[in-house]
Chain A
Amino acid sequence: MNHMLTLLQATTPVPRDIPLALPLPEWLLVVLLVVSFLAHIIFVNLMLGGSILTLWAQIKGMKDKEYDTLAYEIAKTITVNKSLAVVLGVAPLLSINVLYTVYFYSANALTGLMWILIIPLVTAAFLLTYLHKYAWHKLEHNKGLHISILALAVLIFLFIPLIFLTNINLMLFPEKWGTVKGFMDALVLPNVFPRYLHFLCASLAVTGLFLFWYLGRKRYPFETHFTTITRYDIRKRMYALALGVSLFQFVLGPLVLITLPAKGVRWNLVAVILCGATAALPAMYWMWKGITGKPEDIGRNFKKVVAAMTLTVLLMASGRHVYRSNALAPHKKLMAEKTKAFELLSAEARKHPAPEGAASGVTAARPVAPGAAVFQANCASCHKKEGRLVGPPVTEMVSIYQGNVPGLKKWIRQPGKKRADYPQMPGFPQLSEQELSILTDYILSVK
């Protein structure tokens, strides 16, 4: 037996895949998935990081008015970034649905309640961010309330990625599906929390770089908003934030790698991840030089920093994918074999179906007259010879319609409503004239 398979336990489910071809070559879908996911997650980072920084600045702003202004300026970016985060999320959702149909939907169903709660939770958080932004001046004198609105939104924003990560993690481990009962079980599987922290730090780093540019760019009328804080102060802080969390990623990264279940860890994964980490080093060096150098030079290497960080993010996202495909390869293979075997069986059964009536109430052995067969297939579920079933007995039909075949046919095609304590009988317009004739002959012959 294939030695890779021994990694999976006997109780692992092996579902069948959707037996339809992929719409595009697999590699192209993978590229689409990785790239569109990156676009999505960058805006998620900005939305989350932006709201955390707004909260920080606004709390600081209770003492120093300038920070309140800063908070307002950052808050304006959140509502735009969040809209982009949502729309850009649809494309990776589409691609992961196609590439990992069985894995993704299975994980969704197993954490279903929490999964569907994403919709109302995110809606609520979005509404809170609008409320926070548009009530800024109205709630000027009620800062406590105003800050709580944002704090609540931040809490929700912090929770949502946990749901996504739990799903993305659970889908990698079919061997666990049989043991998971609800979201909480899936949440505590190894690796969810380290990855979550890794993601949080990335959000802060990305937001730091974004605000470095956004608040520092030439066209931004910085001096009309701020009097004591300078452009340089802000840029330095944002660099410091990005650099600080990037350093911390060097602790978290290895932790994520160590807690990854061994089944997908191979040299190709380690190589990609190490390259990603290496690409971050020059970026960190340039940031350090910016912070410690002359104020007017702080923005000098910004483009290079962004380029190096983009490379890091791309490699990390590819690493994610490499692990996923390593981890699922043996299971995917089994699934493909099983799907193929099932399709053959199904085609064979279509050619040789079980004898008609095997599943209906009649014993198949007894040969039936054609009229009786039509009756069995369409009417027997509600009518029997004597006594009420759902509708009246056949004997009653005979007494009503003896000598009135057209009347009986009309009723069967389009039944009326006669007996008050009976349900409505459905019509049978789909029966052909010939079927109807042999059916009515049969009914009226019953004695």
Chain B
Amino acid sequence: MDFPMFHLDWLNDRFLIAMIAIIHVFINHGLAVGFIPYITWLEQKGVRMAGTSSITNSEWDELVYRKMKVAFIITTTLGAMTGVGIWFSAGLISPSSIGSLIRVFYFAWFVEWLTFVTEVVLIMIYFLIWKQSNRSLKAKIRHIRFGWFLSVFSWITMCIIVSILGFMMDPGNWNTDHSLISGFTNPIYLPQLFFRTPTAMVLGGVFGMLLTTLFTARNAAWRNTALKYGARWILCWAPVSLVAAIIYYKAMPEAMRENMSTAVGTMEFAQYYDLLRYMIPASVSLVAVLGIATWIRPRAIRMWMVLIPCVAAFGFLGIFERVREFIRKPYVIGGYMYSNLLREEDYPLFKRDGLLKYATYATAGKVTPENKLSTGRDVFMLSCSRCHTTNGINSIVYVFERLYGPGKPLDENSMAAYIPNMHNGRTYMPPFPGNQEELGALVAYIKHLQLTGESLEGAQSAGVTVNPDNNMNLAEHITDTTQSK
């Protein structure tokens, strides 16, 4: 309520953050954490394969180098920019929460930033001096050692990020203990880390095999060997990933129960959670089949045969991320701030005096019969728009029609009876923050939306209206009274 509300009325605001974040996680896990050890391992094989007369097998080394080049280009462009993009999108959509988190966890982020800088510098060194270090065996061995060092380093970076994600979801500790340690002691921290590690390795391996099929001709000399090594890599990690996935899967409802102050199992969570039951065995067995088939008949492997398990493995990780997201609702910061960006502790004030009175941007500070629609829109923007659109994805009209029957005219009284209690049955939503009149305005606006199909523009195109009852004059009044005391 203190920030202009950026709003994407078709795509849905949460979707924007989720899309950027998931691309980032894919690249981080599949092309850095899991990929670099795989590449280093192959680079080392090249040195072993070469006879005593040469430093490395140059054709093999060239193949491994080209694979690394792909990862290098993607991580330093899309990977780095989506990392920044998570910040940008969170700042647009959830400014109060990200602003609060940065104040409290400034050091955590600073450390995270330092590791991030180091990682980028190390990746650049590793890739850019590759060719130079082929000049002597000593340099090559140093380069390989550097690769292992980089692998460990990217893994540590991941550990820190997972912890940051952990304390953002942990309600109990926010109010009492604002420290990074609470992220490491979060009940799903270890299961999550244990899951991410082998899964990243599998992703890296499958992606590497995909590149092998792309970069080598069907009858090329090293293709079969490269594929077989890839198969060995993924067959090694897939069982660990399976076990870790099951452990994580089991730990999730527990975390869900601990993190949500109210209830377990919402419908949506349950749906995704059920999906995982099929996703885990399906994608792991696809990967295993690929590994075994390659092991037996590398010659028969085509690009598409690798592409399918590759997509499945990324999908597998994606669904896990989606399910994890649920653990945070209805809070953005557990126990402190709801997803609508309002603090839990301010609710009594809003309920008593109304939400609009304290909103910096609103068409009016009070609901009247004349301004019902515009104030209803303000109330919607302030209390529902972070998760609902008017007519797009997860639209408010659609969710109400699903309740009361598709296409039927919505009834204001029924909606007004539903909304103040919705957080009891639908625990992923925060309680309605406003007073009785604001509730009336909100349902009138929703009804109006159903009738007109009107859309709602965010501050990025419509600008903002400064609340006439809450602007400079009021602020000066406050200053004057505090000074005269």
Q: Which of B102, B403, B417 contacts A423 (CB 8 A)?
A: B403
CB-CB under 8 A from A229, the residues of chain B are none
Q: Check B81–A122 contact: CB distance below 8 A.
A: yes
User: Does A428 touch B at the CB level, under 8 Å?
Assistant: yes
User: Does B109 touch A at the CB level, under 8 Å?
Assistant: yes
Nearest chain A CB to B311 CB, angstrom units: 22
Q: Check B475–A381 contact: CB distance below 8 A.
A: no
User: Does B87 touch A at the CB level, under 8 Å?
Assistant: yes
Q: Check A113–B460 contact: CB distance below 8 A.
A: yes
CB-CB under 8 A from B263, the residues of chain A are 427-430
Which chain A residue has the least Cβ–Cβ distance from B433? A359
Which chain A residue has the least Cβ–Cβ distance from B113? A90
Which chain A residue has the least Cβ–Cβ distance from B400? A390
Q: Which of A12, A18, A180 contacts B99 (CB 8 A)?
A: A18
Q: Check B100–A18 contact: CB distance below 8 A.
A: yes
CB-CB under 8 A from A134, the residues of chain B are 69
Q: Check B87–A361 contact: CB distance below 8 A.
A: no
User: Does B215 touch A at the CB level, under 8 Å?
Assistant: no
User: Does B181 touch A at the CB level, under 8 Å?
Assistant: no
Q: Check B264–A359 contact: CB distance below 8 A.
A: no
Interface residues of B in 404-418 (CB under 8 A from A): 404-405, 413-414, 416-418
User: Does A233 touch B at the CB level, under 8 Å?
Assistant: no
Q: Which of A1, A110, A123 contacts B4 (CB 8 A)?
A: A110
CB-CB under 8 A from A179, the residues of chain B are 463
Nearest chain A CB to B427 CB, angstrom units: 8
Interface SS of B by simple majority: helix
CB-CB under 8 A from A109, the residues of chain B are 3-6, 92, 95, 458-460
Which chain B residue has the least Cβ–Cβ distance from A121? B81
Interface residues of A in 172-186 (CB under 8 A from B): 177-183, 185
Q: Which of A23, A83, A113, A346 contacts B80 (CB 8 A)?
A: A83
CB-CB under 8 A from A426, the residues of chain B are 266-267, 425-427
Q: A93-B87, A108-B92, A358-B351 are in contact. Are A182 and B460 (CB under 8 A)?
A: yes
Q: Which of B92, B103, B352, B403 contacts A349 (CB 8 A)?
A: B352
- Chain A CB within 10 A, most for which of B2, B266, B421: B2
Q: Check B460–A111 contact: CB distance below 8 A.
A: yes
CB-CB under 8 A from B473, the residues of chain A are 10
User: Does B482 touch A at the CB level, under 8 Å?
Assistant: yes
Q: A94-B102, A97-B102 are in contact. Are A180 and B463 (CB under 8 A)?
A: yes
Q: Mark B262-289, 1 if CB is under 8 A from A, else 0.
A: 1111110000000000000000000000
Nearest chain B CB to A87 CB, angstrom units: 5
Q: A5-B476, A101-B99, A423-B403 are in contact. Are A381 and B425 (CB under 8 A)?
A: yes
Interface residues of A in 111-128 (CB under 8 A from B): 111-113, 115-116, 118-120, 122-123, 126-127
Which chain A residue has the least Cβ–Cβ distance from B357? A345
User: Does A72 touch B at the CB level, under 8 Å?
Assistant: no
Report the separation of the CA atoms of residues A5 and B482 in the bound assembly, to the nearest whole angstrom.
Answer: 15
Q: Check B91–A97 contact: CB distance below 8 A.
A: yes
User: Does A139 touch B at the CB level, under 8 Å?
Assistant: no
CB-CB under 8 A from B358, the residues of chain A are 342
Q: Check B109–A349 contact: CB distance below 8 A.
A: no
User: Does A148 touch B at the CB level, under 8 Å?
Assistant: no
Q: Which of B89, B110, B417 contacts A116 (CB 8 A)?
A: B89
User: Does A311 touch B at the CB level, under 8 Å?
Assistant: no
Partner-contacting stretch, out of A298-306, A312-320, A333-341: A333-341
Q: A23-B106, A359-B436 are in contact. Are A15 and B99 (CB under 8 A)?
A: no
Interface residues of B in 1-41 (CB under 8 A from A): 2-6, 16, 20
Q: Check A87–B117 contact: CB distance below 8 A.
A: yes
CB-CB under 8 A from B419, the residues of chain A are 381
Report the separation of the CA atoms of residues A108 and B87 in the bound assembly, to the nearest whole angstrom.
Answer: 12
Q: A91-B113, A119-B82 are in contact. Are A354 and B103 (CB under 8 A)?
A: no
Q: Check A23–B361 contact: CB distance below 8 A.
A: no
User: Does B454 touch A at the CB level, under 8 Å?
Assistant: no
Q: Check A86–B81 contact: CB distance below 8 A.
A: yes
User: Does A329 touch B at the CB level, under 8 Å?
Assistant: no
Q: Mark A175-212, 1 if CB is under 8 A from B, else 0.
A: 00111111101000000000000000000000000000
Q: Check B89–A83 contact: CB distance below 8 A.
A: no
Interface size on A, residues (CB 8 A): 99
Interface residues of A in 36-66 (CB under 8 A from B): none
Q: A334-B479, A337-B475 are in contact. Are A178 and B463 (CB under 8 A)?
A: yes
Q: Check A13–B464 contact: CB distance below 8 A.
A: yes
User: Does B465 touch A at the CB level, under 8 Å?
Assistant: yes
Nearest chain B CB to A172 CB, angstrom units: 16
CB-CB under 8 A from A113, the residues of chain B are 460-461
Q: Check A119–B267 contact: CB distance below 8 A.
A: no
Nearest chain A CB to B85 CB, angstrom units: 4
User: Does B300 touch A at the CB level, under 8 Å?
Assistant: no
Report the separation of the CA atoms of residues A429 and B425 in the bound assembly, to the nearest whole angstrom.
Answer: 10
Interface residues of A in 69-96 (CB under 8 A from B): 79-80, 83-84, 86-91, 93-94
CB-CB under 8 A from A84, the residues of chain B are 120-121
CB-CB under 8 A from B16, the residues of chain A are 116
Partner-contacting stretch, out of B70-78, B200-208, B366-374: B70-78
Partner-contacting stretch, out of B55-63, B157-165, B323-331, B342-350: B342-350
Q: Check A130–B73 contact: CB distance below 8 A.
A: yes
User: Does B168 touch A at the CB level, under 8 Å?
Assistant: no
- Give B residues with C-beta under 8 Å from A: 2-6, 16, 20, 69, 73, 76-78, 80-82, 84-85, 87-89, 91-92, 95-96, 98-100, 102-104, 106-107, 109-110, 113, 116-117, 120-121, 124, 128, 262-267, 345-346, 348-349, 351-353, 358, 360-361, 402-405, 413-414, 416-422, 424-427, 432, 434-436, 439, 458-467, 470-476, 478-480, 482
- Give A residues with C-beta under 8 Å from B: 1-2, 5, 8-18, 20-24, 79-80, 83-84, 86-91, 93-94, 97-98, 101-102, 104-106, 108-113, 115-116, 118-120, 122-123, 126-127, 130, 134, 177-183, 185, 333-335, 337-338, 340-342, 345-346, 348-350, 353-354, 358-361, 376-378, 380-382, 389-390, 421, 423-430
Pairs A-B, 9 closest by C-beta atoms = A112-B460, A15-B2, A23-B106, A349-B349, A381-B418, A105-B95, A14-B475, A181-B463, A426-B425
Contact sample, A vs B, 19 pairs, CB 8 Å cutoff:
A10-B472, A13-B464, A13-B467, A18-B96, A23-B107, A94-B110, A98-B106, A102-B3, A110-B460, A115-B460, A119-B84, A123-B81, A181-B463, A334-B478, A337-B479, A341-B478, A342-B358, A378-B424, A378-B425
Please name 17 further chain A to chain B contacts, defined as beta carbons within 8 Å, in addition to the given A108-B88, A348-B349, A430-B427, sorted by A numbering. Answer: A1-B476, A10-B472, A13-B464, A16-B2, A84-B120, A90-B113, A97-B91, A105-B92, A115-B88, A126-B81, A178-B465, A180-B463, A182-B461, A335-B475, A338-B475, A338-B478, A428-B263
